[in-house]
Amino acid sequence: MICLHYGEVQSRKSQVCNLNVNHETDNGIRFNDVEIIWARNSKEFLFSNSVLIHGADPVLVDPSASFTYISSLAEAHYVKTVLNTHFHGDHRSLNQLFKGAYFASHAADADAISEFKHYAKMVVDDDTAFYFDWIKQVFAKYHIVDCPVSIKLKDGDVLDTGSEKINIIHIPGHTPGHIALYFEKADLLYTSDIDLTPYGPWYANPCSDIEQFKQSIRKIKLISCKHYVTSHAERVYDHETFLNKLDRYYLAFETRRFKIIEILKTSPMEMHELCSHGIVYKRAALTDPLKAFFQFKMVAKHLKQLMDEGVVGQDGAKYICV
């Protein structure tokens, strides 16, 4: 089993080998013993990039990329520990293949990975909503099952695989237990669903939190390394490119907030009217019921903030600029 060191992450740049060997593989790219497995269909739900850390005690992060490759790892009993960066299904859709492995996650997301009833509480506030039915159908289709988490992590923990040290960086907001991973020898940061996608940050679950998400992005921005990888793009970023994209990604919070205010300045609106505008997604994308649902939930979080600040008020069922 991997060795878990407790305590705050310290700077170990002086201990990192200067030789940072990387090369393309059949399934992605490898940096020393850290292999990135690209999700070739990562724009779809239930798929994300995966990370395989080779060595004496191999670790697989977010098994959701290549079914053929990941299933071969499971059949060979190669992976000792499966580490999920958070509880969402697209980051653990192949967990069920690793029946003899230990499962690890941040403590705040562990229950949602271990039991579906806890997952449901984190993602829906109304179990009669169509989204809850959609989740149950997807879990059945992809055979996403409960996987008891025995290794519960916190910010600053370090997993030692023998050939690599994995620093756990808690970045809540997307989910309460969302984590990034810094691989010391590879000098690589995996930011999971701080994913730099054009749509911007996603915080549609009841457990998601805008302010925590913003704080986490600011935290990530302070981490300087050679390579950066996210969960939903087939790309390795250098430091400068990553920071530029991270700034644009962060700007989405204010852009959405500004759009809501400007729309309400035109006239008071009920929630369904407001959400018919392209605030999070382009208007044309809102024909997709899931995107419309996600936008509704994210706009509601912004409205609550704006009302708490006294910028927006309510007149009956309509929202108004104060």
pLDDT of residue 126: 82
Residue environment code for 97-114, b if the CB has 16+ CB neighbours within 10 A, otherwise e: bbeebbbbbbebbbbbbb
Statement: residue 115 has pLDDT above 50: yes
In this structure, the answer to whether residues 222 and 77 fall within a common structural domain is: yes
User: By C-alpha distance, which of 194, 203, 178 is closest to 105?
Assistant: 178
pLDDT at 186 over 70: yes
Tell me: pLDDT of 20 over 60: no
The DSSP secondary structure of 171-227, one letter per residue, reads -TTSSTT-EEEEETTTTEEE-TT----TT-----STT--HHHHHHHHHHHHT---SE
Q: Is the dihedral of CA 200, 201, 202, 204 positive or negative?
A: negative
Residue 246: inside a domain, yes or no? no
Answer whether residue 156 is part of any domain. yes
- Share of residues in the chain with pLDDT > 70 (%): 92
Q: Which of 4-8, 23-27, 213-217, 311-315 is predicted with the least confidence, judged by mean pLDDT?
A: 4-8
Q: Is the pLDDT score of 3 beyond 80?
A: no
Residue 242 within a domain: no
198, 309: one domain: no
223 and 279 inside one domain: no
The whole-number pLDDT of residue 2 equals 61
Long-range contacts of 270-275, Cβ-Cβ distance < 8 Å, separation of 24 or more: 270/317, 270/318, 270/319, 271/296, 271/299, 271/300, 271/303, 271/317, 271/319, 274/299, 274/319, 275/299
Q: What is the pLDDT of residue 42?
A: 47
- Residue 108's H or E segment, with its range, is helix 107-114
Concatenating the DSSP letter of every residue in 26-89 gives SSEEEETTEEEE--TTTTSTT---EEEE-SSS-EEES--S-HHHHHHHHHTT--SEEE-SSS-G
Based on the fold, state whether residues 37 and 129 are members of the same structural domain: yes
pLDDT at residue 212 greater than cutoff 90: yes
> If you average pLDDT over residues 272-280, what whole number do you get?
97
Q: Examine residue 165 and state whether it is found in any structural domain, yes or no.
A: yes
- Give yes or no for residue 6 having a pLDDT over 90: no
| Chain position carrying tokens 């390579």 | 227
Of 73, 62, 81, 69, whose CA–CA distance to 180 is shortest?
Answer: 62
Is residue 244 included in any domain, yes or no?
no
Q: Give the DSSP letter of residue 315.
A: E
The CATH number covering residue 22 comes to: 3.60.15.10
* Distance (Å, whole) CA 156 – CA 170: 8
Whether residue 124 sits in one domain with residue 228: yes
What's the domain range around 311? 252-321
Quickly count: other Cβ atoms within 10 Å of residue 308's Cβ. 9
Strand partners, 190: 181, 229
Of 110-114, 207-211, 232-236, give the lowest mean pLDDT range. 232-236
Q: Kindly indicate the confidence band of residue 4, based on its pLDDT and cuts at 50, 70 and 90.
A: low
The last residue of one of the domains, among 202, 237, 272, is: 237
Please indicate, yes or no, whether residues 184 and 274 belong to a single structural domain of this protein.
no
Asked if 229 contacts 195 with a C-beta cutoff of 8 angstroms, the reply is no
**For 27, phi and psi rounded to 5 degrees?**
-115, 0
pLDDT recorded at residue 130? 87
| Of the residues 207, 237, 267, the one at which a domain ends | 237
pLDDT of 21 > 60? The answer is no
CA distance 44 to 22: 28
Same domain, 195 and 70: yes
Q: Let me know whether 233 and 256 are in one domain.
A: no
243 in any annotated domain: no
CATH number at residue 291: 1.10.10
Note whether residue 208 is domain-resident: yes
Count of domains forming the chain:
2
Closest CA to 2 of 162, 228, 190, 170: 162
pLDDT the model gives residue 22: 81
Please determine, for residue 10, whether its predicted confidence score (pLDDT) is greater than 60. no
Q: Is residue 247 part of a domain?
A: no
pLDDT of residue 17: 35
Same domain flag for 299 and 187: no
Q: Do 142 and 268 sit in the same domain of this protein?
A: no
Is pLDDT of 127 > 90?
no
Asked if the model's pLDDT at residue 9 lies above 80, the reply is: no
Show which of 211, 237, 263 is a domain's final residue.
237
| Same domain as 294, residue 189 | no
35-84 pLDDT tens trace: 999 997 544 557 899 999 998 999 999 999 988 999 999 999 999 999 99
On whether the CB atoms of residues 114 and 147 are closer than 8 A, the answer is: yes
Predicted confidence (pLDDT) at residue 289 exceeds the cutoff of 80: yes
**189 shares its domain with 286:** no
Output the CA–CA distances (angstroms, integers) from residue 165 to 70, 86, 98, 161, 275, in the order listed.
22, 19, 22, 6, 45
